[in-house]
Structure formats: C-alpha cells, structure tokens
Amino acid sequence: MQTFKGGIHPPDKKELSKDNPITPQKAPKKVLIPIIQHIGAPSKIVVSTGQTIKKGELIASPEGFVSAPVHASVSGKISGIIDYPTPTGRMVSCVAIENDMTEEWTTLKDNPDYMSLSPDELKAKIKEAGIVGMGGAAFPTHVKLSPPKEKPIDFVIINGAECEPYLTADYRLMLERPEEIVQGLKILMKILDVTKGFIGIENNKPDAIRVLSDTTKSERDIKIVTLKVKYPQGAEKMLIKACANREVPPRCLPMDVGALVQNIGTTVAVFEAVRFGKPLIERVITVTGEAIKEPKNLYAKVGTLISDLIYECGGFKSPAAKVISGGPMMGFAINTLDMPITKGTSGIVALPEEELLHVDNFGPCIRCGRCIDACPMGLMPNMLSIMSEKGFYEETKEYNLFDCFECGSCTYVCPSKRPIVQFVRLAKSLTKP
Amino acid sequence: MKSKKTTKNEIIIKADNLFVTVSPHIKSPESTAHIMWTVNLALLPTTFMGLYFFGPLAGITLVLSIVSAVAFEYIYQKALKKNITINDGSASLTGLLLGLNLPPSVPFYIPIIGSFVAIVITKQLFGGLGYNIFNPALIGRAFLLISFPKLMTIWKEPTSAFIQIDAKTSATPLGILKEEGLTKLIEIFGDTTNLYIQLFVGHRAGSIGETSAIAILIGAFFLLYRGYITWHIPFSFLATSALIAWIFGGKGALFTGDPIIHLISGGMLIGAFFMATDYVTCPTVKNAQIIFGIGCGMLTMLIRLKGGYPEGVMFAILIMNCFAPLIDRGFKSKPFGFKKTEKK
C-alpha cells in the first residue's frame, strides 16, 4: 500500500456519519451568498437590492483571471447586500436572497455530447460555472487547469483520501455518484491532454474502492490507488508521492512535477458544469460531531446559514463547546453559527466539552522528537516552535518555516500540548519568505 | 449568539461561548506527565532487584533520593514563584535514576546532595524541564563521585536477603577486570558461564539499579514496545561498545576481547536504555541519535579500557550531552522533496 513518510493516526470518527446517504437540504428561507468564496480577486456584484433572481443566475462576475463568478443558490428576491462574517474569520459582502420556494432555475445549457468539445471550450464552461477547489482552499479550478506551457501535466489525481477525521462527504459521493466522478476525471484529462488518471482512496473506505474499481473497469487510463490510512494522506504533495512516487520540491507546485490534483467534490462539479451547464451553487457537506443529534451528509446550498444546517440535523444533543468549519485538523473554529457556508466548506463539526482538550498552560518542549517523526514535510517543528516562542522569527527560516503547510500533525502529537501551528503562523506573519 | 427553538421537537441550536482556537482542534491524549511516569514505571523491575540484592539500606537511599529531588524542585519553583510542576514525574524520575546509580550503602546525606546538584543546579538553573543541557541524574552522580570518591566507591556484596546489614564489601566486576584482569574475574565466579549468569541476573557488586541486566532489559523492552524510546541510541551505543570491547578489550592481541562482559556489567545497559535516551539531553533527529550513540559507546570504552576509572558510561553520556545540539544541527532533517532541488 502506498503512502508517504511521517503522518499521524488520529481516531477517524467517520462512523458518526458514514452510513447516512446524501440527503438534499430542505430549502432555506434565506441565503447569504458571500461574493468572495475563493482565493484571488473579489468578484464584482452585478445585481441590486429588490431584484428578483432565478436559481443559477449570476450575482457576481469575476474580476481578473484568478477569480470566480458567484451564482444564486435559490430563486427569490434580493433583500440586501450586507457585510457578514465567513468561516475564515473575514467579513465579506454577501448577497441576501429571500427564497420564494419555487426553485425556479435559470436556463442552463445542456451538452449531451460534451466529450466532443475542445479543451478550451470545456475550460470556459468550468470558469463560467464558478468552480473552485472544494477541499477547503477554494482556488479557482480554471486557473489550476491552465498551467504555463513550459510545465506540461502528465497525470491527474483525484483526491479520495478524505484524511480529515469526521468528514464523509467525499466518501458518500464516491459511493453514490461514481459515474460522475469518472466522467469528471475524463473531462479533466481531456482538458490537460493527459492519458493517465489516478483516484487515490484511503484503505478505510473499502466499499468506495470497490465501487470505483467497478466503474473504471473498462477505463484503461484510470487507476484506483489504495492508500494507507494516515493523516495528512490527502495533502497534495503527500498524495502525489503516494500515487505517482514523485516528490514536489520545496516551494514548488504540483505542476512542477507534472501533476494536477482535484478534490472529489470538485470533480463532480466539473462534470455537472460541462454536462448540464450547472453552476456551483450546492455541495455535499458533512454536518457531524459528538454534539450533533443526527449527523448527516447534506446536499446543501451555498449561502445557507450554519445554524439552519444544524437545525436540519436535529440540533445539538449536548451543548457544543467548539464548532469547526471544515475538518478538525485544518478547519476553522467559528464563534457563531450565524454564518453562511461557502463553496469550500466541506464539513461542520460540532464538538462537546468532553471532546476538547483544553490547553491553558502548555509546557516546555521536552525534545522528544515526536513532531519530527510526524511531520510529513520533513521539518523540525520543535525548533520552529521554540524559536518562534522566543522571538527568533528570522532564524526559523533556517528550519524551512515556509515549507510548513500547517497540517497540524506536530501539534496533534506534542505531549507538552504546545500550539506549534500557532507559533509557525506567528513566525510566518512576521517574516518574509 | 443565535437561539431558535420550536415547541414541537425542541431542536436546540443555541451555542454560546464557542471556543475559538487555531487548528488542529483535536490532540492526542499523550502528555509529558504520562511519559515521565511510564519511564518511572519501567524502572520498577531494576528497582526491585536492587532492593532484593542490597536490602533495606538501598531502599532508604532510593527514597531519600526521590523525596529530596521532588522537594528541591518544589522549593525552587515555590521560591521563584514559578508553576509547580512536581506532578509531571520528571523530578521523581531524576531522583530515582540518581538513586539507582548510587552504591547501596552511602550515608544519608549523599543522595540529598546529589539531588540538589541534579535538580537545582543542573535542571532548574538552566531553565527547568526541557532546557537542561546535561542529564541531571548523571551530573548529580558525577558531582558525588568527584567530591566523595571514597564513599562513592564502597561496593557492597549482594546478599539476596533483606535482613543482612553488615555485608562485606567487594570490588565491582569492572573494577576487578580493570585491576586484575579477566582470568581473576572468572576465577571469582567459578567459570565463564556462571560469570555470565550472575552478571545477567545481577548477583554482583555495583550501584543499586545497575546490577541486574535482565531487570533493566524488561523495563527497556517495555519502553521500546510502547514507543517511548526507539532503538537508535541504545543499539548504536551497545553495538559500538561491543565492537570496541571485542577488538581492543583483550590482553595482548586484537580481536580477543569479551564484548558480553562489557555489555552486561557496570552501567552500560541502564545507561544505554534509560540515561542516554533522555529526551531533553539527546539529539532529536534519528540519524543524529545514531551518531550520539556511537559517540557514547566510543567514549565509554575509551574510559573503561584506557582511562583511570573502571566505569565510563556516566562521563561518556555527559560528554556527548554537550554535543547533542550540535549533532542535531548537523543532521537537520531535510524537507520533503529536497533532493530534487539539489540536483538542479
């Protein structure tokens, strides 16, 4: 079984929601759609208050190349454009739409014969649909699909690792919509003109491996790769190492070794955009955690308030002490449930008090070296944390500060409960690469 | 905060005072205190064997050593208004290791002075847990050995009985090996097999906790199994020592030495498994740990074969402690994908 060096084995807690099929969310009364849901330039609002709008209609158009359009996720009347908090902690302009419950779609352009389109036409459709990476980083997909000429792509990897504990959205998609994943992958392969595609899946999802192997039986170019269960197996660089045995050098991108990685959800969105012309307005999101009464995998509309989603899952069965947007290893803790989900929100995890490990006073580093063994990037998190703690920010660069992608493995294993990731972020914010 | 309630199902979505922290939001249950107490536990077999062979006097030495180590840590932290950390088990571990490395019949003030040097001077004055350069228990012992050379080299004959108090004194096997040679040592124990067996079980003169090889190995394998120590330091330490003992340990010709005697006598095993592997004072990178172990082995054998002391484990580890940060720096781990950039 293929994998990478380092990593950790946190309890995966996927049993809470893994057997619950994807259910469509009940139509929310109101959505608040943030106009920046991606990395890059903010989009420009093209609608105004009072206007009636149909589902799938454009509400914000991209500004510049690294940007993505935003579409309405319900039909109804725009009740205002207001600044609202988003899970990353940023205040973003949001278009508020009162749902008229008619679910009336704008006209979509159907393409039954999508495989005969040219790569540029396919890419244009993906751009129009406002597709961004749905694993969390939300980088516009059409930009990722446009590598510079001197860096040809050799293969596409679909990330079915879903190594974050608790989350099961990608797992359910693999079980329920394998055909669309495979078609999405073929579209990506056509756009990039490659003949090799991998779908990497962790070994704790044997049924997903089986279903996708069956679906791809006749596809000679697509290989299902069984990966060892280990966090962060789904990190781009670790996934490329495990699937294709190529190492992305420090400060380089996957395209430097000819690789392109896409998330499962993104791949399905790509298929829907190309086949049906459907913009990215809804996504599968896992609402789970020990504090949630009925954990579910919801097919949720972008812009739905987190409180509405939790309501739909039966609310809290015990008081929530921490609510996380995303997974517990790299997600963001949020301070209020009155916040909309975005294209990049893969899960909502609500933890009760007893699941939290409070660290009021972290201890000194005892130099046990567990973080060094856990670091998938081969760094020395112990040195980074000690130097940052003492204010030697410049010196942290000698220990490759900027190679850290903050997966949190070091902080997970630290017996002194040192907030290593926090120290790393502090140093990163106070130095220049 | 938001609160919504329906009368029908009473769906609660109220969430006040949510904790907001930087990721990750889950942490492993492992803690420093748990590690330290587990190492304490792993020393129980050898502690028990020490009590069995050397009687209640050894027990008093151990208790004095542990209690004074914890007390000095408490007093120091209290006096300097620091957080009291005696519950983390590290002071107790230092006390226990110091006690196990003392001769069985030392006067009561010896373990107390040793603990003072270990805890206050070696550990706390350097910044407390995690910041000390040298292994505190070993510095404590080195201080005692140099300050009280007579008292620290009176070795009791093991008695296998709890009552006998006026035991005879004798030299340690390593002392005999150094002064009178292997032939004399075998003569004392009868034959080579009996010598090995006695050394392995621990029926011989020496420090309280270092005599029984098998008890130390039980604790060591427990720690290895639990992943609290790795093979890197003990293996390279012992392999280097054995190799040097075999090549240079014989009288006259090369390659005639007896590596087994060197491995299972003196402080070699307790040093390799419990002292050299001290997290704080050994290197953190695995390759660096191998170099550290080799260095410990070479220095130990240099002192044993050519130095003035019969035993060299303590000084070897202390000398290598100085180099630990330097070796770590030299073997700084290479970031993922690093080799490929080098080739450019």
Any CB–CB contact under 8 A between A414 and chain B?
yes
Residues 6+ apart with CB under 8 A from A148: A255
Rounded CA separation A309/A340 (Å)? 10
% of residues, chain A, pLDDT over 90: 88
Helix axes A206-215, A178-192, angle to 10 degrees: 60
Which pLDDT does position B5 carry in this prediction? 46
Which pLDDT does position B158 carry in this prediction? 80
Q: Can you read off the two tokens belonging to residue B57?
A: 């006097």
> Average pLDDT of A316-345?
93
Among chain A residues, the shortest Cα distance to B85 is held by: A363
Rounded CA separation B232/B324 (Å)? 14
Helix axes B32-42, B213-226, angle to 10 degrees: 150
Any CB–CB contact under 8 A between A45 and chain B?
no
Rounded CA separation A386/A401 (Å)? 12
**A362 within some domain:** no
Question: Which among A4, A316, A382 has the least Cβ separation from residue B13?
Answer: A316
Which pLDDT does position A424 carry in this prediction? 96
Distance from CA of A408 to the nearest CA of B (A): 5
Rounded CA separation A346/B270 (Å)? 51
Rounded CA separation A291/A320 (Å)? 6
Residue in B133, B41, B137, B81 with CA at minimum distance from that of residue B320:
B133
Residue in B306, B311, B307, B239 with CA at minimum distance from that of residue B272:
B239
Pair A129, A198 in one domain:
yes
Final residue of a structural domain among A243, A276, A309: A276
**What letter represents residue B245's amino acid?**
A
pLDDT band per the 50, 70, 90 thresholds, residue A355? confident
Residues 6+ apart with CB under 8 A from B264: B196, B199, B200, B213
Any CB–CB contact under 8 A between B272 and chain A?
no
**What letter represents residue A213's amino acid?**
S
pLDDT band per the 50, 70, 90 thresholds, residue A88? confident
Q: Can you read off the two tokens belonging to residue B167?
A: 């035991």
DSSP for A18-38, please give it: TTS-EEEPPPPSEEEEES--S
> Average pLDDT of A227-240?
94
Higher pLDDT, B202 or A168: A168
Residue A54 DSSP symbol: -
Quote the Cα angle for A152-A156-A158, to 5°.
Answer: 155
**A7 within some domain:** no
Distances (CA, A) of A41 to A30, A36, A38, B134, B195: 26, 8, 8, 54, 79
CATH number assigned to the domain comprising residue A350: 3.10.20.600
Question: Which among A316, A328, A400 has the least Cβ separation from residue B24?
Answer: A328
Any CB–CB contact under 8 A between A335 and chain B?
yes
CA dihedral B219, B47, B176, B256 (to 10 degrees): 0
What is the greatest pairwise CA distance in chain A?
63
pLDDT band per the 50, 70, 90 thresholds, residue A426? very high
Distance from CA of B18 to the nearest CA of A (A): 5
Rounded CA separation A300/A23 (Å)? 9
Residue in A328, A414, A294, A310 with CA at minimum distance from that of residue A366:
A414
Pair A234, A141 in one domain:
yes
> Average pLDDT of B27-46?
95
Pair A171, A191 in one domain:
yes
Half-sphere exposure of A176 (CA within 13 A, CB side): 17
Q: Which of A38-47, B33-42, B202-211 has the highest mean pLDDT?
A: B33-42
Give the SS3 label for residue A282: strand
Pair A150, A87 in one domain:
no
Backbone angles phi, psi at A414, to 5 degrees: -60, 120
Classify strands A58-61 and A22-24 as parallel, antiparallel or unpaired.
Answer: unpaired
Residue in A211, A200, A201 with CA at minimum distance from that of residue A175:
A211
Residue in A412, A410, A342 with CA at minimum distance from that of residue A372:
A410
pLDDT band per the 50, 70, 90 thresholds, residue B8? low
Any CB–CB contact under 8 A between B227 and chain A?
no
**What letter represents residue B31's amino acid?**
S
Any CB–CB contact under 8 A between A322 and chain B?
yes
What is the tally of structural domains in chain A? 3
Final residue of a structural domain among A276, A299, A330: A276
Pair A134, A149 in one domain:
yes
Final residue of a structural domain among A305, A320, A355: A355
Residue B341 pLDDT exceeds 50: no
Using one digit for the tens of pLDDT, what is the confidence trace for A16-36?
A: 999 999 999 999 999 999 998
Distance from CA of B340 to the nearest CA of A (A): 6
Pair A289, A258 in one domain:
no
Pair A271, A148 in one domain:
yes
> Average pLDDT of A52-59?
94
Pair A81, A221 in one domain:
no
Any CB–CB contact under 8 A between B24 and chain A?
yes
Which one of A164, A416, A423, A428 would you mutate to disrupt binding with B, by most B Cβ within 10 Å of its Cβ? A416
**A403 within some domain:** yes
Determine whether the interchain pair B15/A331 forms a contact, defined as Cβ–Cβ distance below 8 Å: no
Contact indicator for B218, B280 with CB cutoff of 8 Å: no
Q: Can you read off the two tokens belonging to residue B63?
A: 């208790």
Which pLDDT does position B162 carry in this prediction? 46
pLDDT band per the 50, 70, 90 thresholds, residue B9? low
Pair A335, A267 in one domain:
no
Residue B3 pLDDT exceeds 50: no
**Stretch 349-408 of chain A: residues touching chain B, C-beta under 8 Å:** 349-351, 355-357, 359, 361, 363-370, 372-373, 375-380, 382, 399-400, 403, 406, 408
Pair A380, A422 in one domain:
yes
Using one digit for the tens of pLDDT, what is the confidence trace for B256-271?
A: 888 999 999 889 999 9
Contact indicator for A285, A297 with CB cutoff of 8 Å: yes
Residue in A83, A104, A105 with CA at minimum distance from that of residue A93:
A83
Give alpha helix (H) positions in A148-205.
169-176, 178-192
pLDDT band per the 50, 70, 90 thresholds, residue A235? very high
Classify strands A91-99 and A22-24 as parallel, antiparallel or unpaired.
Answer: unpaired
3-state helix/strand/coil string of chain B: CCCCCCCCCCCECCCCCCCCCCCCCCCCCCCHHHHHHHHHHHCHHHHHHHHHHHHHHHHHHHHHHHHHHHHHHHHHHHHCCCCCCHHHCHHHHHHHHHHHCCCCCCCCHHHHHHHHHHHHHHHHHHCCCCCCCCCHHHHHHHHHHHHCCCHHHCCECCCCCCCCCCCCECCCHHHHHHHCCHHHHHHHHCCHHHHHHHHHHCCCCCCCCCCCHHHHHHHHHHHHHHCCCCCHHHHHHHHHHHHHHHHHCCCCCCCCCCHHHHHHCCCHHHHHHHHCCCHHHCCCCHHHHHHHHHHHHHHHHHHHHHCCCCCCHHHHHHHHHHHHHHHHHHCCCCCCCHHHHHHC
- Evaluated on CA atoms A116, A119, A124, A127, the torsion sign reads positive
Rounded CA separation A393/A285 (Å)? 38
**Stretch 96-155 of chain B: residues touching chain A, C-beta under 8 Å:** 127-131
Among chain A residues, the shortest Cα distance to B30 is held by: A415
Rounded CA separation B148/B162 (Å)? 27
Determine whether the interchain pair A321/B18 forms a contact, defined as Cβ–Cβ distance below 8 Å: yes
Determine whether the interchain pair A369/B284 forms a contact, defined as Cβ–Cβ distance below 8 Å: yes
Determine whether the interchain pair B27/A322 forms a contact, defined as Cβ–Cβ distance below 8 Å: no
Average pLDDT, chain A: 93
Q: Can you read off the two tokens belonging to residue A375?
A: 């670091």
Residue in B152, B63, B55 with CA at minimum distance from that of residue B99:
B63
Element at A244 (helix H, strand E): helix A236-244
Q: Can you read off the two tokens belonging to residue A254?
A: 């996957």
Pair A144, A177 in one domain:
yes
Residue B2 pLDDT exceeds 50: no
Using one digit for the tens of pLDDT, what is the confidence trace for B98-145?
A: 999 999 889 999 999 999 999 999 999 999 999 999 999 999 999 999
> Average pLDDT of A235-255?
92
Determine whether the interchain pair B31/A415 forms a contact, defined as Cβ–Cβ distance below 8 Å: yes
Using one digit for the tens of pLDDT, what is the confidence trace for A381-421?
A: 999 999 999 999 999 999 999 999 999 999 999 999 999 99
Residue with tokens 């987190």: A306
Residue A173 pLDDT exceeds 70: yes
* Domain enclosing residue A313, as ranges: 27-108+279-355
Which pLDDT does position B283 carry in this prediction? 96
Which pLDDT does position A373 carry in this prediction? 94
Burial of A432 (0-12, 13-18, 19+ CB in 10 A): exposed
Which pLDDT does position A350 carry in this prediction? 95
Residue B343 pLDDT exceeds 60: no
Distance from CA of A281 to the nearest CA of B (A): 25
Using one digit for the tens of pLDDT, what is the confidence trace for B11-23?
A: 888 888 888 988 8
- Cα B30 versus chain centre, distance: 21
Question: Which among B20, B32, B35 has the least Cβ separation from residue A333?
Answer: B20
Residue in A170, A166, A296 with CA at minimum distance from that of residue A231:
A166
Rounded CA separation B89/B97 (Å)? 12
Distance from CA of A363 to the nearest CA of B (A): 8
Rounded CA separation A260/A263 (Å)? 10
Residues 6+ apart with CB under 8 A from B171: B155, B179, B205
Distances (CA, A) of A57 to A104, A106, A111, A124, A127: 10, 6, 18, 17, 14
**A365 within some domain:** no
Rounded CA separation A377/A370 (Å)? 14
Determine whether the interchain pair A336/B2 forms a contact, defined as Cβ–Cβ distance below 8 Å: yes
**Other beta carbons less than 10 A from residue A382's beta carbon:** 27
Question: Which among A247, A310, A351 has the least Cβ separation from residue B13?
Answer: A310
Rounded CA separation A138/A39 (Å)? 6
Residue B7 pLDDT exceeds 70: no
Pair A233, A290 in one domain:
no
**A148 within some domain:** yes
Give the SS3 label for residue A143: helix
Question: Which among A322, A378, A416 has the least Cβ separation from residue B18?
Answer: A322
Determine whether the interchain pair B337/A248 forms a contact, defined as Cβ–Cβ distance below 8 Å: yes
Rounded CA separation A185/B28 (Å)? 36
% of residues, chain B, pLDDT over 70: 93
Any CB–CB contact under 8 A between B26 and chain A?
yes
Q: Can you read off the two tokens belonging to residue B82?
A: 């620091």
Using one digit for the tens of pLDDT, what is the confidence trace for B290-311?
A: 999 999 999 999 999 998 888 8
Determine whether the interchain pair B18/A334 forms a contact, defined as Cβ–Cβ distance below 8 Å: yes
